[in-house]
Amino acid sequence: MTISSFDCSDTDLTGKSILITGGTGSFGKMMLKHILANHKPRKVIVFARGEYNHYLLQNMLTEEQLQLVRFFIGDVRDQDRLVMAMRGVDIVIHAAAQKQVPLAEYNPFECIRTNVIGAENIVQASIRAGVKQVIALSTDKAVNPINLYGASKLASDKIFVAANALASGTGTRFAVVRYGNVLGSRGSVIPFFRKLLKEGSDFLPVTDPRMTRFWITLEQAVAFTMSCLPAMRGGEIFVPKIPSMRIVDLVEAMAPGIEARHVGIRPGEKLHEIMITEHSAPRTFDMDDRFVIDPDWSFWDREPHSSDGYPAMPEGFEYTSDKNDSWMSVADLQAVLKNIPEAGD
């Protein structure tokens, strides 16, 4: 099977000003590329702290594209800088995060400052600047977390959902998109495996042969996020229906016949991932190509997504990578790998 295409044709950014935090990362660059290719925004603000990455991104754009893009050096830890960057902004896409599990465990304060305090700063700055829509990126690791990265993203999700109460009467709305591992993104396993193979390794390390993961391509993550903008009412979490895969199948797809050497699960790593828990099932609705989790309580007079006729999930429903209805085969993975740049970014 292949990862389904998410239809974002209903999203209209004509004349809109969009700010992307973490805009020089894998997702941010793909989002910028998508917006410039498919929409006519008033401007797109790339917000990130790395000066050199801004420079590299500038050199990737045409002169015509550069007329629409603004490069803001800044950190989500700095609320005042965010407010300045958000002046006149209609939509914020919050992709900035510290994502490396082992580094987060070793540097907990830094992880919290970016992922949790940074989330609060996005909320406060968006309300102060009068932003209309904010979509924050989350991860399956935020559900029943066992590592600090996941716990920090759970806290972030809670902040963005509750932010709709703080913004009552201002017109600012917040929502979350949650998905699994992004194939080929910077820091993911595919660039790591490719590096080992290039160096002549005769094996690829696998933490556990039973391990499964949700997978989505970078392009699909961007399309899914964009498609959630017209659907959001505030306070919900959107979860795409995406396939699972076995890590041993990824090894076979990348290097047929090579040894998958079992090295044991790393601290803070799960055998399987989960995106919707049994606890959330009563508030989860099936929107055909995605699920939507409504908040525990209403922050204002808003209709639940059930009012659109979407069915609620049954009691006991869970969405986990090991019990998924959709799976990627070795052949599916090989087809996807052909479209992932060697650099992995």
- Compute the C-alpha angle 222/83/148, nearest 5°: 55
What average pLDDT does the segment 291-302 reach?
A: 81
Alpha-carbon gap, residue 291 to 306, rounded angstroms: 12
Is 141 noted as a catalytic residue in this protein?
A: yes
pLDDT, residue 343, reads 54
In this prediction, residue 125 has a pLDDT band, given cuts at 50, 70 and 90, of very high
Candidates 18, 21, 32; CA nearest to 90 is 18
HSE at residue 158, side-chain half, CA atoms within 13 A, is 10
Alpha-carbon gap, residue 47 to 54, rounded angstroms: 9
pLDDT, residue 16, reads 98
Q: What DSSP state is assigned to residue 327?
A: B
Cβ neighbours of residue 223 under 8 Å, at least 6 residues apart?
5, 6, 7, 8, 34
What average pLDDT does the segment 111-127 reach?
A: 98
Is the distance from CB of 317 to CB of 276 less than 8 angstroms? yes
In this prediction, residue 222 has a pLDDT band, given cuts at 50, 70 and 90, of very high
Alpha-carbon gap, residue 199 to 271, rounded angstroms: 28
Q: What DSSP state is assigned to residue 138?
A: E
Q: For the chain, what percent of residues have pLDDT higher than 70?
A: 96
Whether residue 299 is predicted with pLDDT greater than 70 in this model: the reply is no
Q: Decide which of 157 and 169 is more confident.
A: 157
In this prediction, residue 4 has a pLDDT band, given cuts at 50, 70 and 90, of low
Map out the domains of the chain as residue ranges: 17-337
CATH architecture of 17-337: 3-Layer(aba) Sandwich (3.40)
* Integer Rg of the chain from CA: 20
Whether residue 318 is predicted with pLDDT greater than 80 in this model: the reply is yes
Residue with tokens 């963005």: 160
Whether residue 145 is predicted with pLDDT greater than 80 in this model: the reply is yes
pLDDT, residue 344, reads 43
- Phi then psi for residue 24, to 5 deg, are -100, 5
**Could you say which of 16, 29, 141, 270 is catalytic?**
141
- 25-67 pLDDT, tens digit per residue, is 999 999 999 999 999 999 999 999 999 999 999 999 999 999 9
Cβ neighbours of residue 307 under 8 Å, at least 6 residues apart?
none
pLDDT, residue 338, reads 86
